[in-house]
Amino acid sequence: MRFSAIENTMSEITETRMESAMRYLAESDQEFAQEKAQVERSEILRKRIRARLFLVATGTVAERQAQAEIDPEAEQADGDYCKTIASFETLKARRQRAELVIDVWRSLEASRRKT
């Protein structure tokens, strides 16, 4: 039963669906690049915040690191970073799914030509 469900899904990959996937990939290039850049910006910001917090803290190195880690500003930067990662990974997964649709369509077309 499971195989037939997969087979039915794959047979529904039409040329129109493949073209839609190709269009999505073409139209989401810029968004993908911007999301990836935002991930990098968020990571840089996290490091800068921790470095600044470490510099203004007092105590031993371990105490200063701990203070920097538990500061609300660092926690906020971590939360923002996680949201950025989630957004980027969602877009990345959508693009991978579109690529898969295109690959499956190509395989189905090759099989149809052989028969």
Sign of the Cα torsion 15, 21, 23, 26 reads negative
- Mean pLDDT rounded to a whole number for the chain: 90
Please check the confidence at residue 74 and state whether its pLDDT lies above 90.
yes
Q: Give me the pLDDT at residue 55, please.
A: 97
- Provide the whole-model pTM: 0.80
Confidence of residue 1 (pLDDT cuts 50, 70, 90): very low
Q: Give me the pLDDT at residue 11, please.
A: 52
Please check the confidence at residue 23 and state whether its pLDDT lies above 60.
yes
Q: How far is CA 12 from CA 6, 8, 22, 108, in A?
A: 10, 6, 16, 10
